[in-house]
Structure 1
C-alpha cells in the first residue's frame, strides 16, 4: 500500500469513528447570530449538523425575521423585541433599483447615483443591526439571561456586527461562517491581498490583469474602503466607545475571530495568500442527489432525449418586472428542453407548455439528476457551488453584490456563460442556453471542476464541525491567529523600517560625502599655502 493510500485509509477511519461514536467534544452550548436570506440557508445546515452532534444551539433573531423561524426542533430562538431587521420590502427595493439602472429605464439614475443608493441601503442595514445591539445591551433581562447560559462558543456571520459585539461582551471564543464581513470580502481583513492579482469585488477583473485592469482594481479598492470606512464602521465604533471600557477598536474585534470557516475553496476561488485559521469549507451544503417527488420525476422523464433546464434566482428575488419575465418565458417556450422555473411572481403571458412554474424546488436533487442539462442562476455562492458539485454548466444572470464575480470565476474556468440584465431578452437568453447545451466544453469543464472539488480527504461539513468543536475544546485557537491586525499600518507595511533604513543610508552617505569634501578642501588649502 502506498503512503497516499495509507493516509486516505487513516482519514476514512477517523471520519468513520466520528460518525459512529458521535462528537469528539462533549455537548456544548453555542450562541448563533446569523444573517438573513441565503446566508441563513447555509448557517441552518451547520446548526442542524451541530445539533446532531449533541450540542445545544440558541439563535438570536429579530421579531420580523424573514428566514429565522421562532419555533424549531433543533435550535432555541431568542427573539429581541422592538427590533426590526432586514425584510422582503427592503430587499425588493434594492433589486428594483438595480434592475431599473441596468436596463436603462431610469435615465437619471447614473452609475454614481446607483453607488450612492447601495451605500445608503448598506448604511440603513447596519443601522438596524446597531439598533439590535443597543436593544440587547440596554436590556438587563436579555444580557443576564445570556450570561447565565454560560455559552462555550459564538458562531456568527460577520456581515453583521451583532455577533462580534456579543462575543466580546460575553468573553466567548468566536467562529465565523464567512465569505463577507462588514468591510467586504473576508480575506482582505486578515490575509495579505496584493491588488496586482487579487480582483476586488465589483471590478469585473480576474486574477490575470493588464495595466488598465490593475488601475481599475485599485480604484474599486479605494471605493470599497471609502464606503466601509465612512459609512459602516463608524456606526459600530460608536457602540464600542459607548459599551466597552476600556474602549476597543471594532475593526480589531472583527479581525480577532479564532476560526474563519470560509465558504469557498480553490477550485472556485482564485489562488491567493491565506492564514492558518482560515478553513475552506466551500460546498459544505452540497450532497448527493436524493430521489425526487413522483410529480417532479415524471416531469423530468417526460423531457426525453432533450433533458431539462432548471432556473432559480435565489431566496431574495421573488418577483421581476412583467416585461422581463415575458422575455424569459418566451425564450423558454422556444426550447425543445423542458424547464423548471422557481418563481413566485405573476405568471408570464408567454408561458410555454414545456415550462413548469414552482414556488419551491429541491435544487440540489434536481442539479444531481441525470436529465438536468443547464442551471440558470443569479450567481449566489450556494447555487454556483451546488452546480459545481454536480458538474452542471451555468447560464448566469447576476443582479448585485458578489453575483457577477462568482459567475466570472466559473466563466473563466469554462463552466458558465454570463448574460447581463442590461442585455437580457428572449434572443440573448435563448442564444446563451443553446450555446451552453450544444458546446460540450461547458459540461466537460464543470465535470472536471466537480471531480477536483470532490477529491478531498475530509468532507467540508466534517471539517467545519471538527474546527468548531476544536475551538470549544481548547477555549479558542489563539495559536492560529496572526497578530498582524494589532499592528498600525506603518508597521504592517514596514514603512517605519524602510524610513529608518533610508535615513541611516542617507546619513551614512552624507557623512562620507562631507568627510571627503572636508578632506579635499583641506588638501587644496595646504597646496595653496605651499605655493
Structure 2
C-alpha cells in the first residue's frame, strides 16, 4: 500500500477486509463464541467497524442488542454510511490525501471522485464479497445482508478531536487511549536521565516493523543517532539487534511503553510513522515529531502536523543519513517546534471531561435507553438521493430548463410577429 496510488491503496484496504474475514471464519476464536447458546444475553455490543462487517453475523446470532460503533481510524469516509449524516468532501479530504480544509476546485474534484469510488467499491464489491463469504459458514447462512446489519448502530465513538483532526458532528473521543503515565522500568528511566540534553523515542507502531526497513536504512539511522551523543535514543526494534553495531546512546527493545516515555519530561522528540494514536499521544504530551509515513492516513496526519509547525518529514524511499541528521537536528534545536506542540497540547487537554470518561458515559447512556431512536440521523431513512437533496436539485434544474424550453418558442414567435409587423409597416 505504501507505494500505491490513492485508488489502488483504497482497493487494497477493502480487499484486505475480505481476506481478514476468511481468516476469521477459520479461527478457533469464532468456534468458541459460536458455541454459546443463541439465547445467551449480551446487554451491549461494542463494534470496531474499521475493517468491514464480517463479525456482524455474531451480532445477529445474539439477538441484535444495542450496538455502538468504535474505531481507532479517525473518521473514515464510510462512517456516515453506517450512522447517517452527510459526507463533506467539500472540506474533509479523503484520508490518504494531504490536502487541508481549504481545497481548490481541482482538489475538491479529485476528492469527490475518490469519495465516490470508495463508496461504490465498498458497497458494491467489498461488502457483497464479504457477505457471500460469510454465508459459506453453516452458522451464518440465513443472516440478514451484512450491509444492513451494521446500520443498527445507536452511536459511534470516533477517534477524533478538532485540535488534531477535522470538525465533524459525532461524539469525539480522540485520546481515549491516553492514560495517566506510569513509572518507567528502572533501566529505561535511568537511560533517559543519562541523556545530557534529553531523550528521543523512535517507534514505527504496530503494523510497520522497524526491522523491515532493511539493513541499509537501519545502518543509516544508527549512523545518524551517533551524531547526537548528547541525546539518548530509545528505538522500538522487533528483531534481534545484535547483528548491528549499536551506538552507546541507543537502547533497542522489542517493546517500549510509548505513552509513558512520551510523558517523561526529558523526552524531546518522537520519531514516528505518524499513525493517528501516536500523533494523539505526542500531541497530548507536547512532544514534537519527525514523521516517516508508510500507509493510509499516516500521510495526512503528518501533513497536518507539518502545517501546524510541530513536525518534519523523512521520506523512507529516498532517505539518506544526511537527511536523517538534518531533520532530527532541525526539530531538536529549533524551540518553536516544541512551543507550538505545547500549544496544541493545551488545546487537546482542555476538555470538560476525559475522552475515556465521555466514551463510557455514552455507552452507559445506550444501556439506559436501549430502544432510543431519536438520536439516530434521519438520513439513514432518507437515503443518499434525498438526504443530499438531489431530488430537489433535479426538480429545480428541470423546472429551469422547462421554463427556458417554453420561452424559446414564445420569443421566436414574438420576434417573428414583430418582424412581420415591421415589414408590413414598411410596405404601407
**How much has 1:223 moved relative to structure 2?**
4.4
Matches within 5 A, 1:245-284: 248=145, 250-271=146-167, 273-274=168-169, 278-284=170-176
Equivalent position SS for 2:90: coil
Aligned residue for 2:321?
A: 426
Aligned counterparts, 1:300-379, within 5 A: 300-304=192-196, 306-318=197-209, 319-320=211-212, 321-335=214-228, 336-347=230-241, 349-379=244-274
Q: Any idea what the Cα deviations from partners look like across 1:191-231, whole Å, max 9, x if unmatched?
A: 32332321112222121223343344334334434543454
| 107, 115, 122: which one aligns with 1:228 | 122
- Structural mapping, 1:515-526, within 5 Å: none
CA distance in 2, matches of 1:420, 1:191: 37
Measured in 2, the distance between the counterparts of 1:290 and 1:181 equals: 26
Shift of 1:292: 1.7
Aligned: 1:383 with 2:278: yes
Quote the Cα distance in structure 1 between the aligned partners of 2:187 and 2:141: 57
| Matching residue of 1:487 | 382
> Tell me, what secondary structure is at the counterpart of 2:362?
helix
User: Alpha carbon RMSD of aligned pairs, Å?
Assistant: 3.5
* Cα shift at 1:341: 0.7
CA drift at 1:457: 0.9
Cα distance in 1 between the residues matched to 2:373 and 2:125: 31
Q: CA deviation at 1:370?
A: 1.1
Unaligned runs of 5+ in 2: none
Gaps of 5+ in 1: 1-93, 102-110
Measured after TM superposition, the shift of residue 187 of structure 1 is 5.0
The question of 1:152 aligning with 2:43 is answered yes
Q: CA deviation at 1:285?
A: 1.3
Aligned residue runs from structure 1 range 442-453, under 5 A: 442-453=337-348
The whole-number CA distance in structure 1 between the counterparts of 2:26 and 2:179 is: 40
Question: How far has the Cα of 1:165 moved from its partner?
Answer: 3.3
Which position in structure 2 is the counterpart of 1:499?
Answer: 394
State how far apart, in whole Å, the 2-side matches of 1:383 and 1:490 are: 38
Kept in 2, the 8 Å contact 1:157–1:181? The answer is no
The Cα of 1:397 is off from its aligned counterpart by: 0.8
Corresponding position: 1:414 with 2:309: yes
Q: Per-residue deviation at 1:365?
A: 1.3
Give TM-score, length-normalised by structure 2.
0.84
C-alpha contact (below 8 Å) 2:94/2:115 kept by paired residues? yes
Matched-pair contact (CA < 8 Å) for 1:283–1:382 = yes
Higher relative contact order (Cα pairs below 8 Å, separated by 6+ residues)? 2
Whole-angstrom distance in 2 between the partners of 1:185 and 1:395: 30
In 2, Cα distance between equivalents of 1:488 and 1:400: 32
Q: Is the 8 A contact 1:179 1:185 kept in 2?
A: no
Answer whether contact 2:78 2:119 (CA < 8 A) is retained.
no
Give TM-score scaled by structure 1 length: 0.69
User: Which residue of structure 1 lines up, in the alignment, with residue 58 of structure 2?
Assistant: 166
